[in-house]
Chain A
Amino acid sequence: MNSLKTVFSEQFNNVYMIGRLSAYELKKLYANSFLGGIWIFLNPIIQIAVYGLTFGLGIRGGASVNGIPYFTWMVCGLIPWFFISGSIMQGSNAIYARINTVARMNFPLSITPTYVIVAQLYTHLVLLILLIAIVTFTVGIENIHLFELIYYILSSFCFLVALSFITSTLSTMMRDIHLLIQNATRMLLYLTPVLWEASEKAPKFLLDLMKLNPFFYVVEGYRSALIYDNFNYLLSPLTLYFWGLVLVMLVLGTTLHVKFRRNFVDYL
């Protein structure tokens, strides 16, 4: 619990630094490309097109989901998924990839996972504008709930920060963990109802098992904020489970981080 306090105070004392460093993260990413920031859109659009064709037209034959066009329904899951998968992969590498620059000075190391995720959040917010535009043009604006949307953005952000405290520490000490996480993330796309619908017709135990995946909550949350008029989702017990998990992971992650951070350089 003490480490939680240490880490939190480091975050709040360095808010300006987090902002600037995350901006540099984005700059670094696109510094060498001709198209620069256009890649923020280009990469997701290509993926959306491919998934839309293969899953929407190919597998489902253009059938809609609960009266909502498959394409719109899929994009509502896919854009949060880009945020999730990008953050998991970058977050896991957050400390390892930067240890040579950050360890050489009196630097509050615990802001590293945070600013890496914040950089991902910027991209996500830009894509959200695209997402809202797609939803507006295809199914209309009446089911977009801004308050709910902000809530789900925040909850996925909190979860990803908590997760990357654990993964960044572990994968600095053992590179295998990072490789494992990369592979697991790719698989996770198919275990989360991003491209397929978690139908209520499925066996109940299977559905319950699926719901233990915290990204189930987030992805379905985005959908309920954007295309379904389903405020009850927020009030379901899943919300309690999700935040309980965030809290447990934060305690675990910050404890690990504070325990091992003095020795990160020695593990390289």
Chain B
Amino acid sequence: MSTKVEFKNVTKKYKMYTRQIDKIKDLFTSKESGDFHYALSDVSFSVDSGEIVGIIGLNGSGKSTMSNLISGVTMPNEGDVYVNGTASLIAISAGLNGQLTGLENIELKGLMMGLSKKQIQEITPKVIEFAEVGKFINQPVKNYSSGMRSRLGFAISINIDPDVLVIDEALSVGDPTFTQKCLDKMNEFKENGKTIFFISHSLGQVKSFCTKAIWVHYGKIKDYGDVLPVTAQYQKFLADYQKMTPEERIKFKAEQLKENNHGLLMTNDVKTKKGFFDIFKK
């Protein structure tokens, strides 16, 4: 088995601006000083082909940043992201244009993924069949229900046949029958030696069909390995966390802050400077 995706000491940080003008200043000066939020700090892992990796963690722990990095939407500030082949991201309603019809969206998205005219003609019937939107295929996408939109998005992305597929919460709006259909399709994908990243809060789905799991915790990888031990650990953590009293949670966060420089753990103690519009305030 070959390595399909590899993260080498990847850090993605966002600067926390308090004023718009600071953004402009940063274009011309060094960006090293200031208040940073480390969405991911020094993350390394590698995934072989044919794996389905579940990415789990609390809200804001860096799951979506990770999916954006894999699919090439953003670039890391430090370290390297190595992806062997093309990566495609499926997020809820990503890349669909509301003004255009379903059919036009298939062509448009195909074009943007770099497909040739012939390839687009080949996948179009498959997408229509998979998406099950019936007559709506000739209606503007803005008239779709959220389930239909997610089905179409999923159908397009999966038929484009990328080497790496990143699914960011996209199945959460589908009904169980469609979710099952997607899971079947993803298993087919897996057998073809493709790699899938599956981001979900549904531990049941993660357990039932992922082979590995990554637990992201405040921008760092807490655990990475076979799916069952990792999810068990995570579940144990969730149960413990929910049992905590508010005081204990504050203490827990303070302890975490020592280890992680994460924006969610910090309290906002920045003194707000007086802006122009404050003169209207009493």
Residues in A lying within 8 Å of B, measured CB to CB: 16-17, 20-21, 24, 27-28, 31-32, 100-107, 173-174, 262-263, 265-267
Contacts and interface: CB of A to CB of B under 8 A. Distances in A.
B89 interface: yes
B59 interface: no
Interface string B74-101: 1100000000001111010011010110
A27, A104, A107 — most chain B CB neighbours (10 Å): A104
B72 A106 contact: yes
A17 B111 contact: yes
B72 A28 contact: no
B91, B108, B111, B116 — most chain A CB neighbours (10 Å): B111
B112 A27 contact: no
Nearest to A107: B112
A105 B99 contact: no
Interface size class for chain B? 20 to 34
A267 B24 CA distance: 11
A105 B88 contact: yes
A101 B95 contact: yes
Contacts, number: 63
A104 B140 contact: no
Nearest to B112: A107
Contacts of A266: 14, 74
B99 A28 contact: yes
B73 A262 contact: no
B203 to A, nearest CB: 27
Contact of B114 (A100, A106, A173, A263): A106
Given A24-B108, A101-B112, A174-B24, A16 B117 contact: yes
B104 A102 contact: no
A248 to B, nearest CB: 21
A32 B107 CA distance: 19
A32, A105, A174 — most chain B CB neighbours (10 Å): A105
